[in-house]
Amino acid sequence: MSSPETSLSIAVDIGGTFTDISLLDRATGQVWRAKTPSVPDDPSEAFMTGIKLALADAGAPATALDQVLHGTTVATNMILEGKGARSALVTTRGFRHVLAIGRQDIPRKANLYTWVKPKRPVPASRILEIDERLAAGGSVLQPLDEESVLKAAEAIRRMDVGAVGICLMHAFANPEHERRTAEILRSELPGIAVTVSTDVLPVVREYERSLTTVLNATVMPGVTTYVGRLEQRLNEEKVRAPLLLMKSNGGVAGAAAVRKAPALTALSGPAAGVVGARAIAAACGIKDIITVDIGGTSADICLIKDGKIGLTQHGRVGDWPLPLPMVDMVTIGAGGGSIAAVENGTLTVGPRSAGARPGPAAYGHGGREATVTDAHVVLGHLPAKLLGGRMGLDANAARRVIEDRVAFPLDLPLEAAASGVLAIVDNHMVGAVRVVSVERGHDPRHFTLVPFGGAGPLHGCALADLLGISSVMIPPAPGVLCADGLLAADLKSEFSRTLPKAGPIEVETAETIFVELEDQAESWLVEEGVPKEKRRKTRVALLRYHGQGGEIAVPWARTREEVEAAFTQEHRSLYGFALEAPVELVTLRVEATGLTAANPQAKLAACAVIEPYGHTPVHFEGGNRDVPLVYRAALGAGASFVGPVILTQLDTTTLVPPGWSGSVHETGAIILTRREGAAR
């Protein structure tokens, strides 16, 4: 029951099928969780429904909330589905075709001879040129011709667009022309969203900066409307708590900042899960982890070293590079709904998915394709009912589609066919794990695997066996970890400045720029209401060898020699070698953080007794075994068990195969360990 001493924070993560809610009393550490079906036509409806469900469980009124956190895929879905606002772009004269030219490379897995460049989000017919020009250092070569801006506004007025992006040459060095252009367009085009590149990506490289500005413009009206609807619904329920939204960098920011640069929220859902996994691992004393978030359609993989979540500015959303700071992860089409099919005598799994509807055949919604979930059902990995008994599984339908779609075409026994489906999807995920580990200089055997998402704990031990990992940690609530992660997220933002010309490190010049960036960071922290003692600012340098086309981020140090040494070490770690070439400084960045109060960990009551509520036949490589079914909620701290065993709970099912043993940590996390001498 809520009391004046409670401090309630609520987190809402909206997925394609379900909306997950976690309500935390920061005074006691008590957590209430809820799930409700998502409403694609109006996500804000499920948002508010979920909040009411969690508050009802806690017996607390909406007015008791001190903080509302939200992870949203609105911007991501608009970009992926091409459903953003019809937009225009204003650029410097002579640069109208930057988007069309793009880069010379093609996607990593594309066929060199058949790949077709995707249609640009803004065609050349909606790109307007204005007269102005800045030098690389920001000095004015040609003053802004405001008459050309007025002409561009008149042309845009006839285009029937909902948003305009402004990306002028070298604006990152001097935003004056962009700011004035935005003032004129906002005055001349009321009701049309206007965004400038220096608010979104104030760094070098015209193609990426132009594309990011355009994508930000296309999603701005939709995200602004969505955030406004959320605030309206909260206001109607008399919630006065601030609304904070998850960003791709693993931090949260206020609604005002997100309205200004909504593209920063792309991939915010997976980022929240990574933050949640790190928090649980830290509570268990584990610093080095590899997270695998497996849902219905995709698997998101991330590596965390020494408790630090790595950021990248080489991320992508769909066909487009989006070089905004985001959690460094790899996403592949592998999930519970991934479709298994035999094509030309070869079994393939994914990336096509059965989605939420009709979903796997076992869900009983008319699915006729064989999926990963159906394979689990055939092998006995899932109980007869899910979601706390509310959802029954149709085992006969699962066996039928695996037989018809996989076993019969390949002339295999039913169980062998189902095992083959899982082996293929597991190896797909292992390949992605190696991208974030081996290909970046890390040995996965030295890490703990943290599988989560609705399907993650079914695959955890199998993935660990393939990777040679001996420890797996299952979070207390794997299926709602993204919502839990929001509760553990700090406020974060980045402030960058590209140097006028890449060259040797000059500490005094860098110091001047860092001070200016830190002033911007301080202003943002003040705007977000972060107490002074909770504010942190970190200096980062982006460097490269002379002649290279990409940079590596390293922490800033006191001397040029220390910075270069850090760069050399990171380059060798990533690529296995270092060069005898000059090191160039390209961009400086200040990462601002508003620390969230540490959440108290409610300790699980000790109880070593394990009482199965039933048994089920499960097919393993060595044959069928009668496996105990155990309610995870009945396990107390200190309980231990030996596989095979299946742990069931509201949001997921955990498969512990032979050769693995487990123990329950006081946080509620389960630590699985491969037994000494057990076969892999």
User: Could you report the per-residue pLDDT of 7-16, keeping only the tens digit for each?
Assistant: 899 999 887 6
Residues 106, 199: one domain?
Answer: yes
Residues 6+ apart with CB under 8 A from 13: 19, 20, 21, 70, 71, 269, 272, 480, 482, 483, 486
Q: Is residue 472 part of a domain?
A: no
User: Could you report the per-residue pLDDT of 548-572, keeping only the tens digit for each?
Assistant: 888 999 999 989 999 999 999 999 9
Q: Is residue 254 part of a domain?
A: yes
Residues 65, 127: one domain?
Answer: no
> What is the reported pLDDT for 619?
94
User: CB of 298 within 8 A of CB of 332?
Assistant: yes
Helices (H), 284-388: 372-379
User: CB of 574 within 8 A of CB of 567?
Assistant: no
Q: Is residue 285 part of a domain?
A: no
Q: Is residue 329 part of a domain?
A: no
Residues 69, 101: one domain?
Answer: no
Query: Is pLDDT above 80 for 233?
Result: yes
Residue 536 belongs to domain with CATH number? 3.30.1490
In total, how many domains does the chain have?
A: 4
Helices (H), 239-304: 255-260, 268-283
Residues 206, 102: one domain?
Answer: yes
SS (H, E, C) 130-173: ECCEECCCCCEEECCCHHHHHHHHHHHHCCCCCEEEEECCCHHH
User: CB of 402 within 8 A of CB of 414?
Assistant: yes
Residues 565, 539: one domain?
Answer: yes
Model-level pTM?
Answer: 0.85
Q: What are phi and psi of 446, to 5 degrees?
A: -95, 10
Task: Choose one of 199, 219, 239: the last residue of a domain.
Answer: 219
> What is the reported pLDDT for 16?
64
User: Could you report the per-residue pLDDT of 384-413, keeping only the tens digit for each?
Assistant: 887 776 778 999 999 999 999 999 999 999
Q: Is residue 271 part of a domain?
A: no
User: CB of 256 within 8 A of CB of 231?
Assistant: no
Q: Is 77 left (phi over 0), alpha (psi -120 to 50) or beta?
A: alpha
Query: Is pLDDT above 90 for 323?
Result: no
What count of Cα atoms within 13 Å lies in the side-chain half-sphere of residue 201? 30
Helices (H), 454-498: 456-467, 481-488
Residues 90, 197: one domain?
Answer: yes
Please give the structure tokens belonging to residue 466.
Answer: 């393939």
Residues 588, 500: one domain?
Answer: yes
Query: Is pLDDT above 70 for 378?
Result: yes
What residue has token string 């580990």? 437
d(CA 90, CA 164): 7
What are the C-alpha distances in Å from 300 to residues 65, 70, 276, 488? 31, 19, 14, 19
Residues 495, 573: one domain?
Answer: yes
Residues 34, 122: one domain?
Answer: no
> What is the reported pLDDT for 332?
85
Confidence class for position 313, pLDDT limits 50, 70, 90: confident
Residues 89, 177: one domain?
Answer: yes
- Please give the residue range of the domain that contains residue 520: 491-594
Residues 105, 154: one domain?
Answer: yes
Please give the structure tokens belonging to residue 67.
Answer: 């903080």
400 versus 325: the higher-pLDDT residue is 400
User: Could you report the per-residue pLDDT of 247-262, keeping only the tens digit for each?
Assistant: 988 999 999 889 989 9
- Residue 353 DSSP class: E
Q: Is residue 558 part of a domain?
A: yes
Residues 214, 242: one domain?
Answer: no
User: CB of 212 within 8 A of CB of 202?
Assistant: no
The mean pLDDT of the chain is 90
Q: In 388-467, at which residue ranges do the beta strands (DSSP E only) sit?
A: 391-392, 448-452
User: Could you report the per-residue pLDDT of 331-366, keeping only the tens digit for each?
Assistant: 888 888 899 999 888 999 988 888 767 889 998 888
Question: Which stretch of DSSP H or E encloses residue 454?
Answer: none
Task: Choose one of 219, 254, 275: the last residue of a domain.
Answer: 219
Task: Choose one of 194, 219, 244: the last residue of a domain.
Answer: 219
- Range with the lowest mean pLDDT among 15-24, 117-126, 220-229, 454-463? 15-24
Helix (H, G, I), strand (E, B) or coil at 584: strand
Q: What are phi and psi of 300, to 5 degrees?
A: -110, 125
> What is the reported pLDDT for 92?
97
Q: Is residue 215 part of a domain?
A: yes
Confidence class for position 2, pLDDT limits 50, 70, 90: very low
User: Could you report the per-residue pLDDT of 55-98, keeping only the tens digit for each?
Assistant: 999 999 999 999 999 988 788 878 877 888 999 999 999 999 99
Q: Output the DSSP codes for 43-106.
A: HHHHHHHHHHHHHHHHT--GGGEEEEEEE--HHHHHHHHT-S--EEEEEETT-TTHHHH--S--
- As a whole number of Å, the end-to-end CA separation of the chain is 48
Q: Is residue 176 part of a domain?
A: yes
Please give the average per-residue pLDDT across 302-327, as a whole number.
86
d(CA 58, CA 62): 11
> What is the reported pLDDT for 1?
37
The candidate with the shortest Cα–Cα distance to 671, out of 474, 464, 477, is 474
Residue 65 belongs to domain with CATH number? 3.30.420.40
Please classify residue 158 by burial: count the beta carbons closer than 10 Å to its beta carbon, then call 0-12 exposed, 13-18 middle and 19+ buried: exposed
The amino acid present at 354, given as its one-letter code, is A
